[in-house]
Amino acid sequence: MVERVFVHIGLPKTATSYLQTIIWGNREQLRKVGVTVPGSERRDHLWSSRDIREDKHHANAPEQHRTAWSRVRTELARTSGTGLLSHEFFAAASAEQARRMVADLDAEVHVVVTAREPLGLFTASWQESLKNGATTPMADYARRVSNRSTDIWNWRTLDLRLVLERWSQAVPQERVHVVVLDPAAGRDDVWHRFAGLLGIPADACDLSHSFPNQSMGVAEAETLRRINGELVDFRRGFDKGVYIRTFLADERLVPRRGEKFWPEPDQVEECRDRGRRAVAYLEQSDIDVSGSLQHLLVPDELEDRRLPASVTDAEVAEVAVGLAATMLGDVRRLRQQAATERSPFAGLPARVGGRVRRLLRRR
Residues 184-238 pLDDT 10s: 998 899 999 999 999 999 889 999 887 767 889 999 999 999 999 999 899 888 8
Which pLDDT value is given to residue 161?
A: 98
Looking at per-residue confidence, does 358 or 26 come out higher? 26
Cβ contact 11:115 at 8 Å: yes
| Total number of domains constituting the chain | 2
- Evaluated on CA atoms 153, 131, 8, 19, the torsion sign reads negative
Could you tell me if residue 355 is inside a domain?
Answer: yes
Flag whether 292 is in a domain: yes
Helix axes 118-131, 218-228, angle to 10 degrees: 40
Distance between CA atoms of residues 39 and 18, nearest Å: 19
- Classify residue 359: in a domain, yes or no: yes
pLDDT band at 339 (very low <50, low <70, confident <90, very high): confident
Say whether both 107 and 245 belong to one domain.
no
Q: Which has the higher per-residue pLDDT, 290 or 203?
A: 290
Q: What is the pLDDT of residues 144-189, one digit of tens each?
A: 999 999 999 999 999 999 999 999 999 999 999 999 999 999 889 9
248 and 269, same domain (yes or no): no
Are 145 and 163 in the same domain?
yes
Percent of the chain residues topping a pLDDT of 70: 94
**Which of 110, 128, 101 lies closest to 194 in space, CA to CA?**
110
- On whether residue 130 sits in a domain, the answer given is yes
CA distances from 286 to 172, 182, 244, 283, 302 (A): 9, 21, 41, 8, 32
Please report how many Cα atoms fall inside a 13 Å half-sphere around the Cα of residue 37, on the Cβ side.
26
Please indicate, yes or no, whether residues 221 and 136 belong to a single structural domain of this protein. no
pLDDT digits (tens, 9 = 90+) for 5-49: 999 999 999 999 999 999 999 999 999 999 999 999 999 999 999
The arithmetic mean of pLDDT across residues 302-317, rounded, is 97
- What confidence tier does 354 reach under pLDDT thresholds 50, 70, 90? low
pLDDT value of position 337 = 87
pLDDT at 353: 55
Confidence of residue 326 (pLDDT cuts 50, 70, 90): very high
The verdict on 202 and 344 lying in the same domain is no
Half-sphere exposure of 42 (CA within 13 A, CB side): 13
pTM here?
Answer: 0.89
Say yes or no: 362 and 283 in one domain.
no
**Does residue 307 belong to any structural domain of this protein?**
no
How many whole angstroms separate alpha carbon 175 and alpha carbon 88? 18
Q: Both 202 and 323 in a single domain?
A: no
- What 3-state DSSP class applies to 137? coil
Tell me the pairing of strands 108-115 and 4-8.
parallel
CATH number reported for the structural domain that contains residue 32 in this entry: 3.40.50.300
Question: Is the alpha carbon torsion for 16, 18, 21, 27 positive or negative?
Answer: negative
346-358 average pLDDT score: 54
Cα distance between residue 197 and residue 101, in whole Å: 21
pLDDT at position 56 is 87
Domain that holds residue 236: 216-259+312-363
The mean pLDDT value for 45-74 works out to 93
Give the per-residue pLDDT at 58. Answer: 86
In this structure, the answer to whether residues 129 and 228 fall within a common structural domain is no
